[in-house]
Amino acid sequence: MRMSRSKFSVLLLSIFFVGALFLFGNAIQAEAKVDWKLKKGKYVVALSNSYYGNTWRKQMVDNFTEAAESAKKQGLISDYIVQNGDNTVNSQISQINSFILQGVDAIVIDPASSTALNSVLKKAMKAGIKVITFDCSVTLDSVYAVDFDFVTFGYDSVVEMAKLVGEKAKVIIIRGLAGTSADEEMYQGNLKALKNYPNMEVLATVHGDFSATKTQEALLQVLPSLKKVDGVITQCGGDAYGAAQAFEQIGSLGRPVIIGDNSAEFLKWWSEVGKKDGEYKTYSRGTCPSVSSAAFWASLYILNGYDVPKKMICDYYTVYEKELGKYSNMEPGTIISPTYAPEYVLDSIIEPALKKKK
């Protein structure tokens, strides 16, 4: 009995779809079998830190070192190197060139500039070195990046300030470390949000370098000429406590609303002022210094040959007044910074980026 053309076509299509489903199912199973296990290796991972002059950066280096020591004890790397710069591009170029000469396998870098290091980073990658930026970024698409959404951070700071003190508030903006992408992007977010609040007046904009000491010094240059300040928009890293100290020193301007920086000093000050005055309405938000350890573990996943996405995002950490009690025993000179274990980096940073990529 002969089969009609239509029935034959249906049969062919059925065979095709069954085959496609079989292949698709096998592909899913193959993907599911990737266990992302970190294997023992002789890798050397280097940290290039452009600046060491504030609490955030010092804690960041400590967090990287802790992660690297853990990996070394487990046999996942043979060694690691840490170099700290003086916030100049030339010093960081020298760092990277020395890492190239030493033949490291990966460079984890908090860059001083988003563009000026591109040439030496290309040189490193040409030598087979994996490059992972964090905290601040560069404009090279070929590097891996563990970033924060700084534009949204800066935007939200203005929005929250408007909620706390009103849309006609007189504010001061504290910027971070000049030349870094983090500072530029947060300020970009500030300006974007300010367009929605045409009656909010920016009295002054100063650079505090993410440092309490430098923020205090910068504010003491401008506060004597001001009659009223409603709020201070910060960029985190220690600047909020410096702002608080500047207003305490001046005395005549009272206590404006200062957005917190997640430092132990600011959270303690906030708690004490709240108890003294009955209430001090603000919130505290910051990036986590332990992002350096997230970048370190990401570098190991890359060196182990796994499909790590080029762009990964970390969350920033927010504290509200009702949560202040949880941080009453923080060690002085520290910033809230959760531990990034390799499993957390995989589940909460790498995998979400992979899903977004698809």
Does 30 have pLDDT greater than 50? no
Query: Which residues lie closer than 8 Å to 168 by C-beta, 6 or more apart?
Result: 199, 200, 201
Mean pLDDT of 5-31: 47
Q: What is the pLDDT of residues 212-267, one digit of tens each?
A: 999 999 999 999 999 999 999 999 888 999 999 999 999 999 999 999 999 999 99
Which strand (E) or helix (H) includes residue 74? none
Q: Residue 343: is its pLDDT beyond 60?
A: yes
Percent of the chain with pLDDT over 70: 91
| pLDDT at site 236 | 83
Going by pLDDT thresholds of 50, 70 and 90, the confidence category of residue 278 is confident
Contact 107, 95 (CB under 8 A): no
In angstroms, the Cα distances linking 31 to 27, 231, 299, 352 are: 6, 51, 21, 15
How confident is the model at residue 34, as a pLDDT?
65
CA-to-CA dists, residue 160 to 80, 152, 171, 267, 301, angstroms: 41, 12, 12, 18, 37
- CATH 3.40.50.2300 in the chain: give the residue spans: 44-149+288-316+339-357, 150-286
| Collapsed DSSP state (helix, strand, coil) of residue 329 | coil
Fill in the DSSP letter of residue 79. E
* Cα-trace Rg, the chain: 25
Query: Mean pLDDT throughout 72-92?
Result: 97
User: Using an 8 Å Cβ cutoff, are 304 and 38 in contact?
Assistant: yes
- What amino acid occupies position 170? K
- By C-alpha distance, which of 337, 269, 266, 342 is closest to 301? 342
Question: What number is the average pLDDT over the span 73-95?
Answer: 97
Write the DSSP assignment of 266-290 as a string of letters: HHHHHHHHHHHHS-----EEE--TT
**Element housing 81 (H / E):** strand 79-84
CATH of domain 44-149+288-316+339-357: 3.40.50.2300
Q: Is the pLDDT of residue 277 over 90?
A: no
Whether 335 shows a pLDDT value over 80: the answer reads yes
Condensed to tens digits (0 to 9), the pLDDT of residues 158-168 reads 999 999 999 99
Q: What is the pLDDT of residues 146-193, one digit of tens each?
A: 999 999 999 999 999 999 999 999 999 999 999 899 999 999 999 999
DSSP secondary structure letter of residue 87:
S
Span 41-57, mean pLDDT? 95
Q: What is the pLDDT of residue 21?
A: 44
Give the three-state DSSP class for 47: strand
The neighbour count for residue 134, using CB atoms within 10 Å, is 28
Give the global pTM.
Answer: 0.86
Q: How far is CA 306 from CA 121, 184, 313, 345, in A?
A: 22, 32, 18, 13
Mean per-residue pLDDT of the chain: 91
29-38, 115-124, 285-294, 346-355: segment of lowest average pLDDT = 29-38
Residues 97-125, mean pLDDT to the nearest whole number = 97
**Is domain 150-286 given the CATH code 3.30.300.30 in the classification?**
no
CB 335 within 8 A of CB 56: yes
Give the pLDDT band (50/70/90) at residue 135.
very high
- Token pair of 223 as six digits: 């506060």
Report the pLDDT value the prediction gives residue 271, as an integer from 0 to 100.
95
Residue 29 has pLDDT above 50, yes or no: no
Element (H, E) at 189: helix 181-194
